[in-house]
Structure 1
């Protein structure tokens, strides 16, 4: 059996076949709860651009092509196109394109996503930097947003959801 990949040896795209329908279609009652959480995140006072940057970075770390493409499509639908910061988010520590608040959000998002990389996954210093830029409600929204993005990434990767099919 050929191993699935996004690119064949010759560079031609390879079709990814989903293992199942989107889980939210299979279990709609669970999706209702997720929708309520998403509403709380949107009402948490974080700029939309910060949410987009965190979503993109977490999705890159987790290798979720469906979420990465979705973030780019969302930016296009909103009339922004993928701004340079969205494209530069993989290199955020080495880029001057991000505000201090965005950098703190991206740092927290990365550390929340890479839990197994260190004994103290989210050090107090990281939390303190984020707390300097966001009040408790916005910080809660950021934490929920990162957790939800990780949820979506894991659902999409495990069920092999192809990018662009939704």
Structure 2
């Protein structure tokens, strides 16, 4: 089976990415730290199976100071609660629920934990970050976006 890139959205219509870039600018405005955003993006990308985004965001997370051990264990974060902060655990649970929203929605306990851990502005930013990475994952997977050279 060939895994050639099917389409470059950016080459066909660069303007198509403009709203996404604006959303990313909003997400990275400083309300949530880059490390937290990194693990959110990685966890959603793990669930969605997006190699392009996993590669990109793992590099970004390491640059933001996230410990390699946290990245190595991220898919099993619930089994290593002492490795992740309360904010990270709340963000990861919310990320999983929103990413898999068709299964159970966002359960009340996940929402309660997230809303008691983050203020309203942080919660809005977290939801936008989770939504954005899910869009990026879908675009990259649908088009078979190629990994950049190492």
For the criterion TM > 0.5, the same-fold answer is yes
How many Å separate the matches in 1 of 2:12 and 2:43?
Answer: 28
* Distance in 2 separating the partners of 1:31 and 1:111: 26
Distance 2:145 2:124 in 1: 28
Q: Is the 8 A contact 1:44 1:141 kept in 2?
A: no
- Report whether the alignment pairs 1:130 with 2:117: no
Paired residues for 1:8-19 under 5 Å? 16-19=3-6
1:20 aligns with 2:20: no
After TM superposition, give the deviation of residue 127 of structure 1 in Å: 1.0
Alpha-carbon displacement from aligned partner over 1:77-107 (angstroms, at most 9, x marks no partner): x274762112211001111210111101000
Give me the whole-angstrom Cα distance separating, in 1, the residues matched to 2:114 and 2:23: 21
Question: After TM superposition, what 4+ stretches of structure 1 lie above 3 angstroms from structure 2?
Answer: 79-82
Aligned pairs, number: 149
Which of residues 36, 51, 58 in structure 1 aligns to 2:44? 58
Note the alpha carbon deviations across 1:129-154, whole angstroms, 9 max, x for none. Answer: 01111111111111000101000100
Aligned to 2:103: 117
Structure 2, unaligned stretches of length 5 or more? Answer: none
Query: After superposition, what is the alpha-carbon deviation per residue over 1:49-90, rounded to whole angstroms, capped at 9, x for unaligned?
Result: 1100010000000000000011122245x2747621122110
- The superposition leaves residues 9-45 of structure 1 with CA deviations (integer Å, 9 ceiling, x where unpaired) of xxxxxxx310011x13322222221111111111251
Match of 1:12 in 2: none
Hey, what does 2:15 align to over in structure 1? 29
The counterpart of 1:41, out of the listed 6, 18, 27, is: 27
Give, in whole Å, the separation in 1 of the partners of 2:48 and 2:95: 12
In 1: Cα distance, 2:148 partner to 2:56 partner:
7
Provide TM-score, normalisation by structure 2: 0.90
Structure possessing the higher radius of gyration over alpha carbons: 1
